[in-house]
Amino acid sequence: MKLITKNSDYAIRAISYLSGKKKPAAVSEMSRELKIPGPFLRKILQILNAEGILSSNRGKNGGFTIAVPPDKIRLTDIMLIFQEPIKPGECLIKKNPCPELGNCLLRSRLNSIKMMVERELYSITLDTLIER
């Protein structure tokens, strides 16, 4: 089970980077500093801009800035933009669908673990990540 995708990771890194900037940052600068391929980063930044998390300015002194304070951005907000929600319905033990899914002894425990992970992820805001 992959918890955080590469898109989510890059988005989190980009937002964290921008939170420390006083002026707009160009994609080329961010790509170089964060070691993320430029076209890939540009696409992620455009999505974050469309979602209202970032804002962008064109022109010579243009670039991206953070539009929402980091303490108002939850890790789960970013994850839901770039990836599917965590699904406990898929068996973590077998590759093929289990015929015992309705009677599974582990299912309720796995659901409890999923809910615990979701609560923990929801409690993380980007400002708590940036502080570290």
- pLDDT 10s digits, 83-102: 887 665 566 555 666 666 66
Question: What's the number of CA atoms in the CB half-sphere (13 Å) around residue 54?
Answer: 30
> What whole-number distance in Å separates Cα of residue 43 and Cα of residue 33?
17
The structure's pTM equals 0.81
Q: Quick check: is 59 in a domain?
A: yes
Burial class of 36 by CB neighbour count within 10 A (0 to 12, 13 to 18, 19+)? buried
pLDDT at 96: 64
Q: What is residue 123's DSSP assignment?
A: T
Q: Quick check: is 27 in a domain?
A: yes
**Separation of CA 93 from chain center:** 26
Higher pLDDT, 76 or 130: 76
> What whole-number distance in Å separates Cα of residue 127 and Cα of residue 86?
23
Q: Could you tell me the CATH number of the domain that includes residue 78? A: 1.10.10.10
Q: Which domain holds residue 86?
A: 6-131
Q: Among 71, 61, 66, which Cα is nearest to 48's?
A: 66
pLDDT at 113: 84
The total of structural domains in the chain comes to: 1
Across-strand partners of 74? 125
Q: Quick check: is 1 in a domain?
A: no
